[in-house]
Amino acid sequence: MASTNIETVNSGADKAKLAGCALLVLGALVGFYWLAPQGVILQWVTLVVGLVLAVVLFLTSYHGKVLTGFGRDAWRELHKVVWPTRKEATQMTLYVFGFVFIMALMLWLTDKTLEWVFYDLILGWKK
């Protein structure tokens, strides 16, 4: 049985950084609406600058570093994927379309057969 060590880091500095992120996002939103009489450009500059500062502050926290590491690992794994060639992708797409067409035809035939059995044979409702 393997032992797992789970380490959580909740330092005061990280909590302060996350609180600062929340305050920056809130400040950006308040500034956006508060500066409405000043003009649209100033509103958007305030919003974008506040959000960018919040993201930069978040990325310096522990959780931001974990997210960045996850993104790097995901990108590395994405490069390991063997993508299909154009010919393979086209063939598979045609197989899917063919299967969908055959299934639609089969369901339509089943529906019409059941309609004929119930309405014409059992109930006697001729059209």
Q: What is the pLDDT of residues 82-119, one digit of tens each?
A: 999 999 999 999 999 999 999 999 999 999 999 999 88
6 assigned to some structural domain: no
Residues 6 or more apart whose Cβ sits within 8 Å of residue 33: 43
Q: Provide the residue range defining the domain that includes 121.
A: 84-127
- The answer to whether residues 56 and 101 belong to one domain is no
Query: Within a domain: residue 62?
Result: yes
Residues 89, 28 within the same domain: no
Same domain assignment for residues 74 and 19:
yes
- In a domain, residue 35? The reply is yes
Q: Are 46 and 28 in contact (CB under 8 A)?
A: yes
Of 44, 41, 49, nearest in space to 32 by CA? 44
Q: Evaluate whether residue 1 is within a structural domain.
A: no
The predicted-structure confidence for 18-66, as pLDDT tens digits, reads as follows: 999 999 999 999 999 999 999 999 999 999 999 999 999 999 999 999 9
Of residues 7 and 32, more confidence is placed in: 32
Q: Are residues 97 and 52 in the same domain?
A: no
Could you tell me how far CA 10 lies from the centroid of its own chain? 28
* 4 domain residue, yes or no: no
Report the number of distinct structural domains present in the chain.
Answer: 2
**Residue 20 located in a structural domain:** yes
pTM for this model (two decimals): 0.58
> Which pLDDT belongs to residue 8?
57
Q: Is the dihedral of CA 62, 60, 46, 44 positive or negative?
A: negative
